Chains A and B, each alone.
Chain A
Amino acid sequence: MELVISEKVQARRRLMRRAAFICALAFGLLPVLLFFFPYVDFNFGGQQYSLSGLTVLTASGMRVATHGGSALVGLPVLMRAAVVAAPVFGLVGAALLVMKKVVPAAVAYALCAVMPVVSILNSAEIRTDVVGLGITRVSIAYDWGMLLVLILGLAAALFAMGLRGVERLAESIFLVFACVSVGSVFFIMLYMVVTGAPAIWQAGVADFLFGAEWDLGNEQYGTLALTLSSICATAGSVILGVPVGLLTAVFLAEVAHKNLANIVRPAVELLAGIPSVIYGFFGMMVIVPAIRDFPPFHGKTIGLSLLAVILVLAIMVLPTIISTAETAMRAVPASYREASLALGATPVATIFKVTVPAARSGILSGVILGVGRAIGETMAVLMVAGNLAQMPSLLGAVRLMTSGIAVDINYATAAQRPMLFGIGLLLFIFIMIVNISFTYISRKGVQMDVK
């Protein structure tokens, strides 16, 4: 049978292609026009500046009246470059399109659309400059010129890709979204390193890591107290949480009647889903007063202490440890248990000498996940720790790395915020170590199973 595409369908396809071509061309050329239209609005304490792309490029700066006269606020070079680059990329894209180079044209259009975002990123520099002049009410708004460049650029890129057929269009859309999500992941990591590392360097690596005093007001940036507190709190919660969690997992996987396990298991899952502020609130209302009023500690502590942090975190890591360990123990083949029982070992001896050792890689990864959760917990810790940056002692108030960031986030000046990213970087390294060991152990576990 011969495959015939009717004349009508062919004509319609040709028309659609032509329409897409014209749209792509027009949308690509519009940013050139928009160069002369309102692009960005600055408002510095009542002084209004509405700039078009052309003014952004040519103006030497914005004269801002301050208390003692006036000052010139310059425009960042990158912002000027981005403003010019948008229409240039639009023109290049249109030229490429006319030359029938569709994919490069779409890329040029996409770059054109990204340029307004670059200028938005750069407006932060203007903000810090103006705030430095003592003006607190600063607002930067993006006018429709900028928004249109963004939208038109994207639309033009889509139409250009559409010329290559729906399949290619869809693939490129998926690709763009993949780039956005992967890009945001890498951007966060990069941002943390780029902001945090120079801050650590500036404070002095040794001083930052081993300095005992953390005080933003006196510009003391030693994180030893925070790091040690974090390590103590995590270790304490794991030491308390692991035995209880492991034995509960044994109960669920091996000992309990099926019906009972089916009630307890969803309850444990629910425990994992409770928001951390509620744990913090519970700790604040119950655990902290209990520590304060506990007879042997009476008068020695206000309740907000490392001990309270450890207890709250121990409760919070329980569900993670329980569910991972239980899954691991259930995965142990029944033949192991049967062999052990047949040799005359009691059920309990079978559990602790056969099942648990066989499931040890799974159990260990549960513990590591628990460590990850404990070390990263913020709000619950913030509510029960007392938040004094001092060396950890069981009954004294402590400040952990996470709560340290949270406490100072509102007090740090723009110049001091990189220091917080320094703590963040440290925390990130800790978590990376935990994660890599987790990947290593779970991979090893898989290898063991294959053997």
Chain B
Amino acid sequence: MLSEAAMTAPKTGEKKSLYEKKRHPFDLCMKTLIYLSAAITVTLLVGILLYILINGIGHISWEFISTEYSQRASSPEKGILPMIINTVYVVVLTLLISVPIGVCAAVYLTQYAKQGRLVSAIRFATDTLAGIPSVLFALFGMSIFVSGFGFGYSILSGCLTMAICILPTIVRTTEEALLTVPSSYQEGALALGAGKLRVTMGIVLPCAVPGILTAVILAMGRIVGESAIFLFTTGTGYDMPNSLFGHIMAAGRTLTVHLYTMAKDGTAENSLEIAFATSAVLLILVFLLNRLAGALSKLLRKG
């Protein structure tokens, strides 16, 4: 498995010094390709980021993020405050639904269930569901929650659909976090006479909190970035919420859906500017969440 140059050198009888550099055309070629690929990747990344930020940041102002939005072309109100509020609603409500269910399910699967065929079948099913494209969830949510249950295009329908969509990921990551807790901790607590519930709530769950938190932040990033599900379940309303709980049954577009509608069917002349500014806001949000998750997992490795 030597390079060609190294194999042929002794045959020709030329004696080359160990320190003399030999030319390897294959090496040179591959090395160029490696650097070229890395350069392409970095250029793409920096290009996309800069393109969005340069075009977007100029249009972000306090007014932009603190005013309402109006469809009429003549209206001066082109802010994204309702979309920001909708995004917060969607993130909070989805996590409120999915995190307790997901964490409890993971606790059952790791602490109580008999480890066997059934549990591994469940794992396979959750893994499969984690890979299903979100448009299928959108279709499902649309038929079940929007028209089936009659919730209509509403934040509630979107949150329920999104909760099912991220549930497998939350269950899996929580399970992994729970499994990393050393069994000696649990055995020690059990030997001291603690019941199974006390061991779970007092030892296993607290030890797994950083792992669960990382999973939650990653889920937040996913909810913020999701668009297909929300486009078809929460709808494209853009009214300011008028009551805290009543808004759950109202239609409301998230930032991503706003970006999509502005870019695709924007009628106002400045809709592209709004789209750029919205995507810049989204990028900054995603970047912050990404850093937060990174910091947390660093903390986890240290602890």
Binding site for B on A (CB under 8 A): 120-121, 123-124, 127, 138-140, 166-167, 170-171, 173-175, 177-178, 180-182, 184-186, 188-189, 191-192, 195, 243-248, 250-252, 255-256, 264, 266-271, 273-282, 284-286, 315, 318, 322, 340, 343-349, 351-354, 372, 375-379, 383, 402, 405-406, 409-410, 414, 417, 420-421, 424, 427-428, 431-432, 434-435, 439
Cβ contact within 8 Å between A275 and B101: no
- Say whether chain A's binding surface is mostly helix, strand, loop, or mixed: helix
Given known A171-B112, A185-B129, contact A277–B259 (CB-CB < 8 A): yes
Cβ contact within 8 Å between B127 and A251: no
Given known A256-B38, A318-B44, A379-B227, contact A420–B139 (CB-CB < 8 A): yes
Q: Other than A124-B150, A347-B27, give 16 A-B pairs with Cβ distance below 8 A.
A: A170-B200, A188-B129, A189-B125, A248-B41, A256-B38, A264-B38, A274-B48, A280-B260, A285-B272, A349-B26, A352-B30, A376-B135, A424-B135, A424-B136, A427-B136, A439-B127
A selection of 14 A-B contacts at a CB cut-off of 8 Å is A174-B104, A191-B140, A244-B37, A247-B34, A251-B34, A269-B290, A277-B227, A277-B282, A280-B263, A286-B51, A378-B134, A379-B231, A405-B136, A435-B128
Chain B positions within 8 Å of A428 at CB level: 132, 136
Return B287 CB to nearest CB of chain A, in Å: 7
Chain B residue at minimal CB-CB distance from A180: B101
Of A124, A180, A349, A376, which contacts B105 at CB under 8 A? A180
Binding site for A on B (CB under 8 A): 1-3, 6, 24, 26-27, 30-31, 33-38, 40-42, 44-46, 48, 51-52, 100-102, 104-105, 107-109, 111-113, 122, 124-129, 131-140, 142-144, 147-150, 164, 167-168, 171, 195-197, 200, 221, 224-228, 231-232, 256, 259-260, 263-264, 272, 275, 279, 282-283, 286-287, 289-290, 294
Of A166, A279, A372, A414, which contacts B197 at CB under 8 A? A166
Of B1, B138, B140, B259, which contacts A281 at CB under 8 A? B259
Query: Which of A178, A243, A376 has the largest count of B CB atoms less than 10 A from its CB?
Result: A178
Return B244 CB to nearest CB of chain A, in Å: 19
Of B35, B113, B142, B195, which contacts A167 at CB under 8 A? B195
A285 CA to B200 CA, complexed, in Å? 52
- Say whether chain B's binding surface is mostly helix, strand, loop, or mixed: helix
Return A257 CB to nearest CB of chain B, in Å: 12
Chain A positions within 8 Å of B40 at CB level: 244, 248
Cβ contact within 8 Å between B149 and A178: no
A277 CA to B272 CA, complexed, in Å? 14
Cβ contact within 8 Å between A192 and B136: yes
Cβ contact within 8 Å between A383 and B260: yes
Given known A124-B150, A167-B197, A378-B133, contact A247–B38 (CB-CB < 8 A): yes
Chain A positions within 8 Å of B46 at CB level: 267
Given known A140-B150, A281-B275, A348-B30, contact A274–B286 (CB-CB < 8 A): yes
Return B245 CB to nearest CB of chain A, in Å: 15
Cβ contact within 8 Å between A178 and B135: no
Cβ contact within 8 Å between A271 and B51: no
Cβ contact within 8 Å between B6 and A376: no
Chain A positions within 8 Å of B260 at CB level: 277, 280, 379, 383
A344 CA to B7 CA, complexed, in Å? 9
